Structure 1
Amino acid sequence: MVARVEDRWLSKKKDSDGKRKRKSTYGVGNRWMAIWDDLDGIARTKKFPTQEQAQAFLDDVTADKKTGTYVDARAGEKFIGDLLDQWFSASVHWKASTRNAAESDIRAHLKPQWKDWTVGAVRKRDVQDWVGRIDLAPRTVGTIHGRFLTFMSWCVEERLIGKNPAAKVRLPKGRAREHLFLSVQQVTALADAIDEHFRPLIWLLATCGLRIGEAVELRVKDLQLDRGRIRIERSVVFVKGGPPIVGPPKSGKARTVSVAPFVAKMLQELVQHRRGNDLVFTTVRGFQIRPNNFKRRQFDNAVTKVNAAAGAARGLGVKKPVTVPEGLWVHDLRHTAASWLVRSGASVKAVQRQLGHATASITLDTYAGLFDQDLDDLSSRLELMIRPVPVADAA
């Protein structure tokens, strides 16, 4: 069938007066109808108020067929619940931790809302309304929407829909939590307050900048302490009610980090009687450390002890005892490591490599404020280079 535009109101045949005959649909609905063949050969129609609009639509259909971007009208009739399962099954490239998080979001948020919708029926306003009704923290809402956005992008790639209705949706804004950077005195107090068994872990996190999932998956074979290095090849994620999921670090790439001599000595003493595949850090009973349990049972208690000791010291007349911020995260030790690296004179590239960021721009975006001192130092060095201090003044 050749694509064409048809007049729904008037026939091409004329009456005895020479006027075109009226059809039974005269005056009912839009007058002009575009008619074309779908990819499967089935005729499709769409009505428009003007002939020009109908012809413009047909021109777009013809162009889309030539470029391979045409979307079959029936494709949009598929149910999202079924498509979510297909998308999840097809995403074999995801890391195990990503698959677990996606499966959780699909089960808890995406299917309850969208499973009975056909993919072609979803409009941007529908997604906007859904996002506005999710009663969770802004960051969590953004994660859930991002999952649906990715799914809908897959639907576009599969030519089930022409464009992504989840794109450019307004998301709730939440104030990002500020990074906390501890001083050497604060980390020392925290390490002294925690159970001695976990003291090397505190110092490793605060000086090497490892993520907690990387640290608790370290094996003895990863330590290269004679060179002052540690190889980071894996990270672990713990799922409620399930086994630990071990995969590559967050960036997807292994890296080698530098370890301070005093921390290397701690680690050497810790693992001296262990074998290559044994864990470096364990619970007191010898099991792998679960980050959430560690924070609740060990880390938070250490924070409380430091601040309680500071309160007692004030009662004895000490003016400025060492305290640590309430609500401190274990991840703040990673931020602390970044701040110490910058203060020591490390370049952006060196900090990136140590922390395992995918790019130096991520390091700059995350810790831009820490490099302000670099700008001050730069101006001072330029001043000395252009206008050196006279010998007499220097004396």
Structure 2
Amino acid sequence: MVARIEDRWFKKDKRTKRPRYGKGLRWVAVWDDLDGVERTKSFRTKDQAQAHLEKVTADKSTGTYINATSGNAFVGDLLDQWAAASLHWQPSTRVAAESDIKAHLRPHWGDWTIGAVRKRDVQDWVAQMQQAPRTVGTIHGRFLTFLNWCVEEGLIAKNPASRVNLPKGRAREHWFLTIEQVTALANTVHERYRPLIWLLATCGLRIGEAVELRVKDLQLERGRIRVERAVVFVRGGSPVVGPPKSGRARTVSVTMKLSRMLGELAKRRGPNELVFTTVRGLQIRPNNFKRRDFDSAVAAVNAAAALAVAKGDKDAPTIPEGLWVHDLRHTAASWLVRSGASVKAVQRMLGHATAAITLDTYAGLFDQDLDDVASRMEALLEAA
């Protein structure tokens, strides 16, 4: 049916009044939905009705038109469809997304229809969250991504979660340990985890990549390790193994000291066995490792330093309280930069998807490069 404008007050002769003359809005825009269902909307003036029909026509031609019934789908059902359609998710992303859906998105939004969600509703939801600012940002970001998918699917015209005000929190600073601090930590932790500490601090692997390393991944004769997998542990479930976070395998270089340590471990294991295990021979769970071994070692180092200071030794290394295992990855980045590695080399070692991510994350570490450039330029000018 051709889109048209109807006059509710007068008949076609423009003189004969209809029964509803003077009641309600006079002009009605009439058009067909994409599914062939006729739709109407009333306006005060004819020009307004005409402008609406022109917008409908334009939206249909550009593919941005939304059927009137599209907004009736329940968010809970759409969340399942979104997760099923997101085949590009890495295992770690899927675990995190499904956790957020179960804990935060479905409980609040599951019974809402997608067309009923407004920006003010999202703003109220964010304001009521009791989590830390960074966590709130992560949860909101998950909902934002879901709603972007709804826009792409033609279920809603725009994303109501965009430009929502989020609580501001100070970003946690990266901690970069010295060689003395890492040495103290490695010498204090249980001896079976000593090679793991040095691996994290010199190669920059993520903990999920390190605990999934197999003997077959070690190429110690070349001074290399192949990082092809990472593991994510789901609370109450089985570990999920997939590719590294960037989605691509990489090869990292290994120091001679670490190579000897890993070689000793490899002697006692088969090609498919894990390089690092717990005392019971099981795969290391990062949360358990941090709580039971890593944090205890940090506390022990600081306790020993306090005793040394009491005896007059002011050089005993201490370690920041609240240190994360991930800070050893930051430490590796700082050591790589200090050793003269290029941004590209640091990117390859850390497994960042792009060099831009490396620069954004560790821009401050490359300040020395600017000083070096100035020094070399000065030397060049003096020589000339």
The correspondence for 1:130, drawn from 113, 125, 146, is 125
Give the structure 1 partner of residue 96 of structure 2.
101
Give the equivalent residue in structure 2 for 1:386.
381
Q: Which residue number in structure 2 is paired with residue 85 of structure 1?
A: 80
CA contact (8 A) 2:185 2:301 kept: yes
Query: Equivalent residue of 1:296, what SS?
Result: helix
Aligned match of 1:255 in 242, 247, 250? 250
Q: Does residue 313 of structure 1 match 2:330? A: no
Between the aligned partners of 1:23 and 1:331, the Cα distance in structure 2 is 75
The residue identity in structure 1 corresponding to 2:90 is K
Deviations 1:58-113 (A, max 9, x none): 00111222233322111111221221222222223322222222222112211222
**By how many angstroms is 1:2 displaced?**
2.0
Q: Which residue of 1 aligns with 2:3?
A: 3
1:20, distance to aligned residue in structure 2 (A): 4.5
Q: Which residue of 1 aligns with 2:26?
A: 31
Aligned to 1:219: 214
Which of 291, 294, 301 is the equivalent residue of 2:289? 294
Kindly indicate whether residue 52 of structure 2 is the aligned counterpart of residue 57 of structure 1: yes
Cα gap change, 1:197/1:67 in structure 2, threshold over 3 Å: closer, same or farther?
Answer: same
Which of 1 and 2 has greater Rg? 1
Provide the TM-score with structure 2 as the length reference: 0.96
Moved more, 368-377 or 109-118: 109-118
- Asked if structure 2 preserves the Cα contact closer than 8 Å seen for 1:11 and 1:23, the reply is no
C-alpha separation in 1, matches of 2:140 and 2:10 = 48
Q: Cα gap change, 1:132/1:49 in structure 2, threshold over 3 Å: closer, same or farther? A: farther
- What is the CA distance between 1:181 and its match in structure 2? 0.4
Which whole-Å CA distance do the structure 1 matches of 2:23 and 2:245 have between them? Answer: 63
Can you list the C-alpha shifts for 1:18-58, whole angstroms capped at 9, x where unaligned? x5515426233x33221111122221011223322221110
Tell me the equivalent position of 2:268: 273
Structure 1: gaps spanning 5 or more residues: 390-395
Query: Match of 2:145?
Result: 150
TM-fit CA distance, 1:199:
0.6
Q: CA deviation at 1:13?
A: 4.9
For residue 42 of structure 2, what is the aligned residue in structure 1?
A: 47
- Runs (4+) of structure 1 exceeding 6 A deviation are none
Residue 64 of structure 1 aligns to a residue in which SS?
A: helix
Residue identity in the other structure for 2:78: L
Q: Deviations over 1:248-268 (max 9, x none)?
A: 000000000000101101111
Unaligned runs of 5+ in 2: none
* Match in the other structure for 1:393: none
Name 1:355's counterpart in structure 2.
350
Q: Return the match for 2:191 from 188, 193, 196.
A: 196
Partner Cα separation in structure 1 for residue 380 and residue 223 of structure 2? 36
Query: Which residue of the other structure, out of 116, 121, 124, is the alignment partner of 1:121?
Result: 116
TM-score (norm 1): 0.94
The answer to whether residue 344 in structure 2 is matched with residue 366 in structure 1 is: no
Q: Distance in 1 between matches of 2:79 and 2:199?
A: 41
List per-residue Cα deviations over 1:263-310 (Å, max 9, x = no partner). 101111122121100100001111100000000000000000010001
Q: Could you tell me whether the CA contact under 8 Å between 1:10 and 1:26 is conserved in 2?
A: no
The amino acid of 2:6's aligned partner reads E
SS at match of 1:73: coil
CA contact (8 A) 2:218 2:224 kept: yes
2:201 is matched with which residue: 201, 206, 224? Answer: 206
Helix, strand or coil for the counterpart of 2:69?
A: helix
Q: Aligned equivalents of 1:169 and 1:228: distance in 2? A: 49
Distance 1:332 1:345 in 2: 20
Match of 1:21 among 10, 17, 25: 17
2:383 and 2:193 map into 1 onto residues whose CA distance is 51
8 Å Cα contact 2:344-2:355 kept in structure 1: yes
Among candidates 275, 280, 283, match of residue 278 of structure 2? 283
Which deviates the most, 48-57 or 331-340? 48-57
Distance 1:40 1:335 in 2: 55
Deviation by residue 1:323-371 (Cα, 9 ceiling, x = unmatched): 0100001000000000001001110000000000000111111111111
The Cα shift of 1:196 comes to 0.8
Q: Give the conservation status (yes or no) of the 8 Å contact 1:194–1:298.
A: yes
Q: Deviations over 1:216-243 (max 9, x none)?
A: 0000000001111000000001111000
SS in 2 for 1:246: strand
Distance in 2 between the 1:374 and 1:96 partners? 37
Higher mean C-alpha deviation, range 240-249 or range 142-151: 142-151
Q: Aligned-residue CA RMSD in angstroms?
A: 1.5
Letter in 2 for 1:7: D
Q: State which of 154, 157, 168 in structure 1 corresponds to 2:163.
A: 168
Amino acid aligned to 1:301: S
Report if aligned partners of 2:66, 2:155 keep a CA contact under 8 Å in 1: yes
Moved more, 227-236 or 47-56: 47-56
CA distance in 2, matches of 1:168, 1:50: 33
Provide the rounded CA distance (Å) in 2 between the counterparts of 1:352 and 1:25: 73
